[in-house]
Amino acid sequence: MGICAGRSEAVARHCAPHPSMTIISTMRYRFGLAAVLLVLAIVLRLAPVALGGEPERVSFLSADEKTMLVGYLFAPPDGAKRPAPAVVMLHGRAGPYSSLAHGVYTAATLTHRHQNWGQLWASRGYFALMVDSFGPRGYPAGFAAGTYDSRPLEINEVTVRPLDAYGGLRYLRSRSDIDGDRIGLQGWSNGGSTVLATMAEGASGGLDGFRAALALYPGCLLQHRYEAGYRPYAPVRIFIGTADEEVSPKICMNFADKATALGSDVMLTIYPDATHDFDDPGKKFQRLAANREAADDTRARAVAFFAAELGR
């Protein structure tokens, strides 16, 4: 498969040890944490997470101090402990809305992937804020694959979108029902790249930043800004498949390797044969066993990671 990594809970054959990564083997899990994650993945797949209601549409200012953003806030059930932890969520290049939105951009037309993740966090006692970076800037339908070089600078994932993440963080901290010291960050694809840029040492502008972050299948090149090595100010977990057709797992492997060499708390999990968008619930993606396994394992690891880092 071309990419191997060590320090693994699941043992992969013919792989040399590699301190920054976990590889999920096609073999069955063995013992310890792997078994716990497998059970948790099964529970998350079987347990309903829908809370019976759309997220609340909210508005807040980006940290660019000029763009009024739209967000969709998923809330934990009535009676859940307050103040609660929270997660800021960042969409990928296609934007937060379904391709079937047909010009109607509301909470009801968020993609099923984003709705499912928002409901998952809410069901576990978190607030979850999906930030729309593209719609307020005139690109609600997002961008097609292969259009990176022609995308406008005002939606750049390294220089602009991190300001949206911090705008979301600032908004959540303004609410009395949210614990401002326990807020995590999650992003997909282009939004995953934004997560990495957002978490870089110094990116928070001296403010208290996010406690932890998840990046699903990000582009890890980041405009060559971290070729000497990446230092996040809080723990970061990256998830990617070896069959990703949009971004390079090899670049992410090198990225994580250099970060770990600097002592950074970065871990890359690589899924054999999983594609880009492996957690998209659509049949096109979930008909592949590798994607289903990657999606289940990522959910389990994400839940365990945020529970440890955010205290839920």
What per-residue confidence (pLDDT) applies to 38? 54
Average pLDDT over residues 257-271: 97
Q: Residue 1: pLDDT above 50?
A: no
pLDDT confidence of 45, banded at 50, 70, 90? low
pLDDT of 8 reads 32
Give yes or no for residue 96 having a pLDDT over 70: yes
More confident residue, 271 or 50: 271
Mean pLDDT of 38-63: 67
Q: Model confidence at 312, in pLDDT bands (50, 70, 90)?
A: low
Strand 236-241 to 266-271 pairing: parallel
pLDDT of 141 strictly over 80: yes
pLDDT above 60 (res 10): no
The pLDDT of residue 205: 80
Query: Please, which contacts does 158-163 make with residues 24 or more away whose CB atoms are closer than 8 Å?
Result: 158/193, 158/194, 158/197, 158/222, 158/223, 158/225, 159/197, 160/64, 160/133, 161/90, 161/133, 161/190, 161/191, 161/194, 161/197, 161/198, 162/194, 162/197, 162/198, 162/203, 163/62, 163/63, 163/64
Name the amino acid, one letter, at 14: H
Domain-by-domain residue ranges, the chain? 21-310
Q: What pLDDT score was predicted for residue 21?
A: 62
Q: What is the pLDDT of residues 109-134, one digit of tens each?
A: 999 999 999 999 999 999 999 999 99
Is 50 exceeded by the pLDDT of residue 188? yes
**For the chain, what percent of residues have pLDDT higher than 90?**
78
111 vs 75: CA distance, rounded Å: 18
**CB-CB neighbours of 64 under 10 Å:** 16
User: What secondary structure does DSSP assign to 98-156, as a single string?
Assistant: -TT-TT--SGGGB-HHHHHHHHHHHHTT-EEEEEESSGGGT-TT---TT-GGGS-GGG-
Is it true that domain 21-310 has CATH number 3.40.50.1820?
yes
Task: Flag whether pLDDT at 218 surpasses 90.
Answer: yes
Task: Give the β-pairing of 127-132 and 56-61.
Answer: unpaired
pTM value?
Answer: 0.87
